Structure 1
Amino acid sequence: MLEFSEFKPVSLDDRDLFLRQYRQYPQVHSDNTFANMVCWNHYANYCFADVDGAIVLSSTIDGVTSFRPPIGPKNPALLDDVIDLALREGGAAPLLVLDPVNEAWIREIYPNLILYPDRDYFDYIYRTEDLADFAGKGYATVRRQVNHFRREYAYSVEAITRENIDEVWEFLVIWCEWRDCDSVPILAYEKEAILFAINNFFAIGLRGWIIRVGETIGAISVVDEVNADMAVVHFEKALPETYRDIYKVIMTETAAGLRGRYRFINRECDMGVPGLRESKTRCHPACMVEVHYATRDDLEACRR
């Protein structure tokens, strides 16, 4: 029987373990990435158990725990154990499914189990070349905004390196002051996450880009790999009140930096925020990575 006491917090020391596992069992949703978990662990309390060649993940937010299907070889007995553990230790929606492979597997094993879509946490996936070029009618407005920025400002693009990462930190302090991060709980959590990312940038294995207007940083992006074909933009911060449309510029310049290495860019979910959903949809995602959950009542019913 799988016990919650066997789980341990995801830490920087576990990077190689997750990299090995994910090379063999590629992920598609940003929430399962190692970088996301270590950067947001103060908020979501990600833990894992390494069982029979599989990794089982859990997260606990505001005291409510949920579990995820095993990442590894298809082992129905281990899946049963995870469901049993979820029923013992989880909340009202104790099982989260963040990838189509496990979704299909669970539907096959438990054909009567209802999996509910959670649209707010669907990841948006874009073709890298689309965001790098903004070509075609569908991108006419954003292309016009980027071109206007390029005419108005003399700017440069550079990768985040050991030589300029202290400047990135200073920029983020300014950004957090502008957003008044400490007054809004989720922004306070995000502040801690992004500063952890910068403090541990090279240990995590992150990449990123800077937009510098003159000598001043106006925007940054922090990027990770989801799988061999897909990158993810974990953080993207800018000062739009100072430099209008700069968010569009850091988006396209980051895509240009990723072109040739990754076919797709994951720009994470919209969390149900109307303005964010509108802006992400306006950039024409190629597809979405869906998230589903199972309720306690439905799990109990399928186990009878």
Structure 2
Amino acid sequence: MLSQEDFKPVTLADRTFFEQHYALYPQVHSDNTFTNMVCWNHYAQYTYAFVEKNIILASTIDNTTRFRPPIGPRNPTLLRALIRLASDVSDNEPIVLIDPETALWMREVCPGINLVPDRNHFEYVYRATDLAELPGKNYLTIRRQINKFRKNCTNVVEPISKENWEDVKRFLIEWCEWKGCEGDPVLAHEKEAVFFALDHFDQLPVRGLIIRVFSKVGAISLFEPMNNDTALVHFEKGLPDCEGIYKAINNEAAVRLAKKFTYINRESDLGVPGLREAKLRYHPHHMVEVYSMKRDS
């Protein structure tokens, strides 16, 4: 019922297909978004199958293919076929990014299946108004840092557009030199993903902001609608020239997104201690929890 021959690469031409399907089955985890897949395709080699009105996603990193649970009407036969295929071709973690509701269903269909929480890929979701208004004592330090930035650094906020794309690209090159992308494969892949988003800005649902500091681009944010009540921030970068600029770009994006969305998803921390601390410091409203299927040892 399901084989590797059913899967084909995710390409820019598939945008309408995914948007129509996700309108019926809204997504809450950033990895499943069309923008994420095409921007990171150079690294994760995303493919998909459309079987029995379900989309099944897969990604291949370092020659290891892992699958996502079916997105569509519940179909126990299809689920069992996916588990067989994934178990045949993947490693000891054949199906990943399983949401809690789907995890319950998988346990009903396959009692005894080994599903474990994947904390490193839990995503942080905040109230948009919290990030925009930074209310109360919880955000006192962040407010002070933003106020200090605005006082000490002459800055202007602009939407990303064709007129400033080249400035944004120069910023990214400088950011990569500062971060040492050449010696860090993860950052090098991220740079390529951001460049893809910029090069195909008109073909993707993303929008963005920049902050110019003393006329030079000092920070960027790229985001998009994720579902009816949630916006997703894909990329957020800043240079160290002015203290507090990261917090400023976070706030500027939130001010604009809060006009349309209740929540803002700021993705996972990938288990990076410093990143986890930074995300927790903003007091998430809830986490997008996910599970992985583990092969029985």
TM-score when normalising by structure 1: 0.95
Per-residue deviation, 1:40: 0.7
Whole-angstrom CA distance in 1 between matches of 2:97 and 2:58: 11
Whole-angstrom CA distance in 2 between matches of 1:103 and 1:52: 20
Whole-angstrom CA distance in 2 between matches of 1:98 and 1:173: 35
Equivalent in the alignment of 1:186: 186
Equivalent in the alignment of 1:257: 256
Amino acid at match of 1:164: N
Which consecutive residues of structure 1, in runs of 5 or more, have no partner in the other structure? 299-304
Whole-angstrom CA distance in 1 between matches of 2:217 and 2:200: 20
Whole-angstrom CA distance in 1 between matches of 2:264 and 2:160: 18
What secondary structure is seen at the aligned counterpart in 2 of 1:232? strand
Whole-angstrom CA distance in 1 between matches of 2:245 and 2:98: 32
Listed as ranges, the matches of 1:1-304 within 5 Å are: 1-240=1-240, 242-297=241-296
Count of residues in Structure 1 that have an aligned counterpart in Structure 2? 297
What secondary structure is seen at the aligned counterpart in 1 of 2:296? helix
Residue by residue over 1:106-141, the C-alpha shift from the partner in whole angstroms, topping out at 9 and shown as x without a partner, is: 133234223111111110001100001111111111
Per-residue deviation, 1:52: 1.5
Equivalent in the alignment of 1:302: none
What secondary structure is seen at the aligned counterpart in 1 of 2:236? strand
Residue by residue over 1:140-184, the C-alpha shift from the partner in whole angstroms, topping out at 9 and shown as x without a partner, is: 111111111111122121111122222111211111122121111
Contact 1:97–1:103 (CA under 8 A) maintained in structure 2: no
Residue by residue over 1:17-70, the C-alpha shift from the partner in whole angstroms, topping out at 9 and shown as x without a partner, is: 110111100000111111111111111111100112110001111111111111
What secondary structure is seen at the aligned counterpart in 2 of 1:93? coil
Which consecutive residues of structure 2, in runs of 5 or more, have no partner in the other structure? none
Contact 2:132–2:255 (CA under 8 A) maintained in structure 1: yes
Q: Which moved more, 1:151-160 or 1:125-134?
A: 151-160
Whole-angstrom CA distance in 2 between matches of 1:233 and 1:186: 18
Whole-angstrom CA distance in 1 between matches of 2:210 and 2:98: 31
Contact 2:114–2:295 (CA under 8 A) maintained in structure 1: no
Contact 1:29–1:98 (CA under 8 A) maintained in structure 2: no
Whole-angstrom CA distance in 2 between matches of 1:146 and 1:104: 43
Contact 1:132–1:253 (CA under 8 A) maintained in structure 2: yes
Amino acid at match of 1:92: N
TM-score when normalising by structure 2: 0.97
What secondary structure is seen at the aligned counterpart in 1 of 2:287? strand
Amino acid at match of 1:84: R
Q: Which moved more, 1:92-101 or 1:278-287?
A: 92-101
Identity level (%) = 52
Per-residue deviation, 1:96: 1.2
Off by >3 Å, runs of 4+ in structure 1: none
Contact 1:117–1:290 (CA under 8 A) maintained in structure 2: yes
Whole-angstrom CA distance in 1 between matches of 2:111 and 2:251: 43
